Amino acid sequence: MAEVVKMPKMSDTMTDGVLAKWHKKVGDKIKPGDVLAEIETDKATMDFESYQEGTLLFIGIEEGQSAPVDAVIAVLGAEGEDYKTALGNAGSEPEQAAPPAPAEEVAVPAAEAAPATPSVAPAPAAKVDLSTIPATVIRMPALSDTMTEGVINKWNFKVGDKVKSDDSLADVETDKATMEVVGYEEGTLLYIGPKEGEAAPVNGIIAIVGKAGTDITPLLQDSGLAPAAEEAAPAAEAAPAEEAAPAVEAAAEEAPAEEAHATDGDRIKISPLARRIAKEKGIDIHDLKGSADGGRIVKKDIEAYTPSAKPTTIAAPAPVAATPIPAPAPVATPVAVPAPVAAAPTPAPVITPVAAPAPQPVAATPAPAAVAPTQYAGVGKYTEKPVSQMRKVIAKRLSESLFTAPHFYVTMSIDMDQAIATRIKINETSSVKISFNDFVLKACAVALKQHPNINSSWLGDKIRYNETINIGVAVAVDEGLLVPVIRDADQKSLGGISVQVKDFAQKAKAKKLQPADWEGSTFTISNLGMFGVEEFTAIINPPDACILAVGGIQQVPVVKNGAVVPGNVMKVTLSCDHRVVDGATGAAFLQTVKALLEDPIRLMV
């Protein structure tokens, strides 16, 4: 039966996504774990993996187009299957709820039959001893002290899959970060509650693991989820109950067989954590040999892998490894559009409902990467590109900040002679090289402790005075701007701050920052001094009350002891939210920062 693939919700602020690139084309065979496409969100461009198996029958949106969360982007099913039914079901569920109304003649018998059904159903429910059911309920864990609910970011298994006690069932997005949920139970995944992108309260049922073919209805009824659950998975089990049990058992028998062939090239058996680490390190999982049961690859196999060991590791299964390698080749051929379009015109009508001339527009479709300039009489040349998700969020948040929070600005010049001399001495002996930005960050952390009003947030009907000092550092990336957070900055040394800032900068440019890395700032610093900027003003990063704009160090004549001498001066400008901070408060904060940077020995205490 054909199944629709919907636009996933990949971050807490995501409302729609841009299809950056399709890795598969209509007619390709898809397996669970295959990367279908790359989707650009408001935070990053991420791989979208398939959790279904079948043939790609339909592609709903083309590369470069956007679609809202939960919109249909593709359909998978059996080769040659009519996918229009699946599309109709996905788009007309409200309309299908109406047809029961015409069945007025059947309503009377149904009403008569209804009492019979409830009279039978409650009786078994009351008699069933839940402890005798060979299945275990998996509940949403409390992954942080402030967590009240979690959003299922990604399911790593589907109903019918065999799971082990150490398998990561799903990635759950909390108010702090995205974390893995381990079931700690072994068996068959019998039920999945919330879908990807949906939320579940702490201790709410998210899955059930147990023996294949087990009737899980009593477990759901005991938790009060039976009515909702019967619309999802149990609907397939409750209606043909007598036929479903053998079907589940048959599927369970086929599942091990499928895993048995995993080492034969059909599917690489690897834990989700190991797959993620391999991807981060750029290791090809085909080069790895698993040490767990059935040759399954786990974390320690990634850590023990060295490129030099590759020949000995793959020596035995070399012929087998050669089998899956050609498979991606046909997937890559769609990139060279002219050859496939000319040789196989079949995909052309599937992409869009365009007639015979479709092949030519299809060949021109990849062109948005290099948009041809449009020319008009009397108008200069220009190019237009669609706005990225990150840029949309930057525009929305900073516009709201500038036009909602009444900004005012305080600028001060700081003598950096002592900071320059101190930095030279530290870097001569320290293995960690300290930058001027590290000095500024440390000085702000110390000053925020003395001026708590600056370390606050406007919450509409109240002002929050933050007791922890978490400083966000603006980092420029190709797509826009990211602000990773140095937590408890007042408790870190200059060296510790320097190491963490450098690490965040590398992660930001490599697109490897996690939500926990950029959430929870109480104050922000934006430094453009390295670009030769003397001074500038910055827009406040909500919900912070202030942001410090740091310019470069300029060699200018200054007056010291009544004489004009060469000096090194740096200008800083504090942008303040006047709803929270007054002018005198902002000026006092800058005075403290100035005093600390002009006598940097105080930062070492």
Residues 6+ away with beta carbon under 8 Å from 423: 434, 435, 436, 439
Higher pLDDT, 350 or 410: 410
Length of the chain: 605
Rounded-to-integer distance, Cα 488 and Cα 90, Å: 48
For 491-524, how does the pLDDT look when each residue is reduced to its tens digit (9 = 90+)? Answer: 999 999 999 999 998 888 887 888 788 888 999 9
Q: Above 80 in pLDDT, residue 246?
A: no
Pairing mode, strands 456-458 and 463-465: antiparallel
Q: Which long-range contacts (CB under 8 A, 24 or more apart) does 401-405 make?
A: 401/539, 401/540, 401/541, 401/542, 402/539, 402/540, 405/458, 405/540, 405/542, 405/577, 405/578, 405/579
Residue range 351-359: mean pLDDT, rounded: 43
Active-site annotation holds for 451: no
401: pLDDT strictly greater than 50: yes
| pLDDT at residue 97, rounded to an integer | 36
Structure tokens at 418: 């002592």
Tokens for 461, please give them: 């009907």
Give the position of tokens 């509409």: 460
Percentage of the chain with pLDDT > 90?
Answer: 32
Least confident of 39-53, 231-245, 272-286, 461-475: 231-245
Q: In angstroms, rounded to a whole number, what is the distance separating the alpha carbons of residues 603 and 487? A: 17
Catalytic residue, from 47, 82, 582, 599: name it: 582
Which range in 169-178, 195-204, 283-292, 488-497 is most confidently predicted, on average pLDDT?
488-497
pLDDT for position 4: 86
The yes-or-no answer to whether 1-99 and 100-260 have a common fold is: yes
Lowest model confidence (mean pLDDT) among 7-11, 232-236, 416-420, 576-580: 232-236
pLDDT over threshold 50, residue 339: no
Cβ of 188: how many Cβ atoms within 10 Å?
23
Q: What angle do CA 353, 358, 361 make, to 5 degrees?
A: 115
Confidence of residue 229 (pLDDT cuts 50, 70, 90): very low
Nearest to 161 by CA among 237, 255, 46, 84: 255
Give the largest CA-CA distance in the chain: 105
User: Of 114-128, 177-191, 384-398, 427-441, which gets the smallest average pLDDT?
Assistant: 114-128
pLDDT on residue 468 = 94
Strand pairing report for 480-482 and 475-477: antiparallel
- The CATH number fitting domain 1-99, selected from 3.30.300.30, 2.40.50.100, 3.30.200.20, 3.40.80.10: 2.40.50.100
The reported pLDDT for the residue numbered 333 is: 38
Amino acid identity, residue 316? A
Please write the tens of the pLDDT for every residue from 26-56: 889 888 878 889 888 776 777 888 878 889 8
pLDDT the model gives residue 144:
60
Q: Residue 328 has what pLDDT?
A: 43
The residues, ordered by sequence, that sit 6+ positions from 385 with a Cβ below 8 Å of its Cβ are 368, 371
Each residue of 362-397: pLDDT tens digit?
444 444 444 555 555 556 788 888 887 778 888 888
Return the pLDDT at 128: 66
Alpha-carbon distance of 14 to 42, in angstroms, equals: 6
List 28, 175, 287, 578, catalytic entry: 578
Q: For residues 28 and 323, what is the distance between their CA atoms, to the nearest angstrom?
A: 17
pTM over 0.75, yes/no: no
The pLDDT of residue 589: 97
User: Does the annotation count 578 as an active-site position?
Assistant: yes
* pLDDT on residue 258: 37
Q: What pLDDT is attached to residue 257?
A: 36
Better-scored residue on pLDDT, 12 or 434: 434
Could you tell me what percent of the chain has a pLDDT over 70? 72
520: left (phi over 0), alpha (psi -120 to 50) or beta: left
pLDDT at 40: 83
Q: Across all residues in the chain, what is the average pLDDT?
A: 76
The residue-averaged pLDDT of 234-263 equals 39
Which helix (H) or strand (E) segment holds residue 480: the answer is strand 480-482
Q: Which of 260-269, 446-455, 558-567 has the lowest mean pLDDT?
A: 260-269
Q: Smallest Cα–Cα separation from 72: which of 2, 21, 13?
A: 2
Are the C-beta atoms of 84 and 353 separated by less than 8 Å? no
The per-residue pLDDT for 43 is 67
In the beta sheet, which residues pair with residue 75? 4, 58
Position with higher pLDDT, 312 vs 485: 485
The pLDDT of residue 374 is 54
DSSP conformation class of 132: G
Rounded CA-CA distance 130/138 in Å is: 15
Beta carbons of 558 and 569 less than 8 angstroms apart: yes
pLDDT tens, residue by residue, 284-332 = 888 888 887 677 787 778 878 876 544 444 444 444 344 344 444 444 3
Is residue 7 pLDDT above 50, yes or no? Answer: yes
Output DSSP code: residue 602: G
The confidence score (pLDDT) of residue 224 equals 62
Average of pLDDT values for 156-173?
88
Q: How close are the terminal C-alpha atoms of the chain, in Å?
A: 69
pLDDT of residue 552: 95
Cβ atoms of residues 150 and 159 within 8 Å: no
**For 190-200, what is the mean pLDDT?**
90
More confidently predicted of 164 and 239: 164
CATH number of 389-604: 3.30.559.10
Evaluate if residue 412 carries a pLDDT over 70.
yes
* Class level of CATH domain 100-260: mainly beta
The three-class DSSP label of residue 592 is helix
Q: Which of 76-80, 121-125, 211-215, 531-535 is most confident?
A: 531-535
Q: Identify the band that residue 437 occupies on the pLDDT scale cut at 50, 70 and 90.
A: very high
Q: Does pLDDT of 217 surpass 70?
A: yes
Every domain of the chain and the residues it spans:
1-99, 100-260, 389-604
